[in-house]
Structure 1
Amino acid sequence: MPAAEQSVPFRWDLITPDQLGTLLGGTNPPDLWFLDDLVACAGKVIARSGNGNLVFVGRSLDSMFDLLGGALADTRDERAPRRLPLSFQRPGAWTGRQWRPRSLTAAERAQARRVLTTAGVTPHGLARAQRAVTFVDVVDRGSTFTELFDLLSSWIDDEREPWPVIRRKLRFVGVTSRTKTSPNTYRWQHHAAWTRHLPARAVTNVSLHPIVWSYFGDHQTKLTRSFRPDQWLAEVPGPERDEQTRQALAQAAALVAYGRSRAGRHTLARAIGREPALAQPWLRTLVTELNS
């Protein structure tokens, strides 16, 4: 069985980009047409994170990971975001009117735990951490968060770590497609039974313009391959280096650079400053750092 580091798809480190070499040579200047919406959404994600360490699930919000990776790179309290590249998509069958994916095998569950460990998430660590872990992903029906919670819950039980303590260290922020709100608006967390096991404010949403949401979730060229359960136990080949991937790399690098720039940090600080959570000392401190 390959170690988690061998099976997780490779992604370039764009904060200290020594690996890029000449990969960006000849690429076109990227069109960051979504930047305003992305920064506004990222500011809300931070403000609603409950001061947790951000962990981006899957690949859909890689652009937010890159933007915040640049903006938060030099903050004093080491709140740089992390990636958890797991995808839970796999074959299944219809049971009545409900789609049920096949169960994860014991080997797949063990490997998923190893991948979580490389992202700094373990039951032992959660029980003793001073700061919560906040998982972030695009959400439609919430199936990925449901799978992730079930995986963590069974692991916590197996390790016999204290659930009453850990439940206060878990947060989930879903980035949803913006719609007109009404009493009949579908809210995924109201249909996910597991959310009742967490404090009321531990599961929250941030909306994003539907065109931008669809671009990130369905159409954007990603730097890594999808990492589904059938691939968790295999050694993953190296990264693609075709023209589309190189152009996606240029886009990702530009987002990191914008996040690190004075203008990018100030714009992010303004987005955070519009949130009611600014009354909390940790968030005011972060805004001051971004503006300094």
Structure 2
Amino acid sequence: MTTPFRWDLVTPDRLGSMLDGALAPEVGYLTELCRCAGKVLARGGNGDLVFVGRSLDSMFDLLGGALEGTGHRLARLPLSFWRGYDYSRAHVLRAREILADLGITPASLARRARPVTFVDVVSSGSTFRSLFTLLHDWITEERETWPVIRRKLRFVGVTSESKTSPNTFRWQQHADWTLRLPAASVVNVSLDRPTWSYFADRQRKLTKSFGPRRWIDGPAEIDRDDKTRQALAEAVRLVELGRAREVRRMIARAMEGEPALAEAWLRTLRSRLS
């Protein structure tokens, strides 16, 4: 296995005895997660959502259930990027292979009808910078048409909610790479601070971090201890909740007031969720 194993909870994979004895989890953040997920969908530009790393696995699971049957595609890009790391050519080639496994290559980007929308929690934006650089260098090397591809790439940063003021730090305003994309292609959605911190820093994940050292050596084996089984129970519960009519409606209601509702694709999606 070249990337970390994670159960397919929508199909689903057989979980065997993994959930035996696991307590049904409380999902106290559900309302906030639905609000954020609805806005991520609305601001994603009708793109196929690709969740980077592990931080937003819970949104991936919730939407996996909610979007079932809508034709909206979701994927996970398990790569973790380390700030200041010296990536070798082997790292670059390995990352390209993983992107290609998701159907993301310079050639496919130039020819696809819908954008690819990368989603991740954001503090400084270093992960998005590394990912954009990886893609841009690859596109240049393959001599694909950048003016076409730049309209097929979108980035949605989920930021920690803070008071708005003229001095508020906005990561994309300090990132020169964002100037190479249309202004609407790099957007933010806020998440309340406790929930953002839980997903970004404290939540037990089903997979271990897949940093650049693991890209070459291969992923660590998955744990099967009690904490992992509880994390699995939480993920399974989120998929179940995503299928619930009221939860789908909560996601749809979060789209109200979004400018993209002027476009047919979002009105259709909201109608299917409602």
Per-residue deviation, residues 137-157 of structure 1 (Å, max 9, x unmatched): 000000000000000000001
> What TM-score, normalized to structure 2?
0.98
Aligned residue in 2 for 1:55: 50
Asked if the contact 2:47/2:116 (under 8 Å) is kept, the reply is yes
Secondary structure at the aligned position of 2:254 is classed as: helix
1:172 aligned to which of 151, 155, 160: 155
Secondary structure at the aligned position of 2:10 is classed as: coil
Aligned residue in 1 for 2:3: 8
Asked if the contact 1:273/1:287 (under 8 Å) is kept, the reply is no
Aligned residue in 2 for 1:80: 73
Q: How far apart are residue 18 of structure 1 and its match? A: 2.9
Secondary structure at the aligned position of 1:258 is classed as: helix
Q: Structure 2 CA distance, aligned partners of 1:290 and 1:211?
A: 27
Whether 1:67 aligns to 2:50 is no
Q: Structure 2 CA distance, aligned partners of 1:68 and 1:272?
A: 14
Q: How far apart are residue 208 of structure 1 and its match? A: 0.5
2:180 aligned to which of 167, 178, 197: 197
Per-residue deviation, residues 98-151 of structure 1 (Å, max 9, x unmatched): xxx132100000000011112221111100000001000000000000000000
Unpaired runs of 5+ in structure 2?
Answer: none
Asked if the contact 2:77/2:99 (under 8 Å) is kept, the reply is yes
Whether 1:269 aligns to 2:271 is no
Aligned residue in 1 for 2:88: 105
Aligned residue in 2 for 1:19: 14
Aligned residue in 2 for 1:184: 167
2:130 aligned to which of 140, 143, 147: 147
Aligned residue in 2 for 1:97: none
Cα RMSD (Å) of the superposition?
A: 1.1
Q: Structure 2 CA distance, aligned partners of 1:196 and 1:135?
A: 17
Q: How far apart are residue 215 of structure 1 and its match? A: 0.4
Q: Structure 2 CA distance, aligned partners of 1:124 and 1:221?
A: 37
Asked if the contact 2:114/2:152 (under 8 Å) is kept, the reply is yes
Asked if the contact 2:7/2:13 (under 8 Å) is kept, the reply is no
Aligned residue in 1 for 2:106: 123
Secondary structure at the aligned position of 2:255 is classed as: helix
Per-residue deviation, residues 30-72 of structure 1 (Å, max 9, x unmatched): 0101111100000000000011110000000000000011111
Percent identity for Structure 1 against Structure 2: 59
Asked if the contact 2:37/2:251 (under 8 Å) is kept, the reply is yes
Asked if the contact 1:9/1:225 (under 8 Å) is kept, the reply is yes
Q: Structure 2 CA distance, aligned partners of 1:182 and 1:237?
A: 43
Asked if the contact 1:14/1:253 (under 8 Å) is kept, the reply is yes
Q: How far apart are residue 236 of structure 1 and its match? A: 2.4
Asked if the contact 1:176/1:207 (under 8 Å) is kept, the reply is yes
Per-residue deviation, residues 3-47 of structure 1 (Å, max 9, x unmatched): xxx221100000012321221121111010111110000000000
Aligned residue in 1 for 2:35: 40
Q: Structure 1 CA distance, aligned partners of 2:138 and 2:175?
A: 20
Whether 1:257 aligns to 2:254 is no
Asked if the contact 1:68/1:80 (under 8 Å) is kept, the reply is no
Asked if the contact 2:25/2:237 (under 8 Å) is kept, the reply is yes
Aligned residue in 1 for 2:261: 278
Q: How far apart are residue 159 of structure 1 and its match? A: 0.8
> What amino acid maps onto 1:204 in structure 2?
V
4+ long deviations beyond 3 Å: none
> What amino acid maps onto 2:47 in structure 1?
G
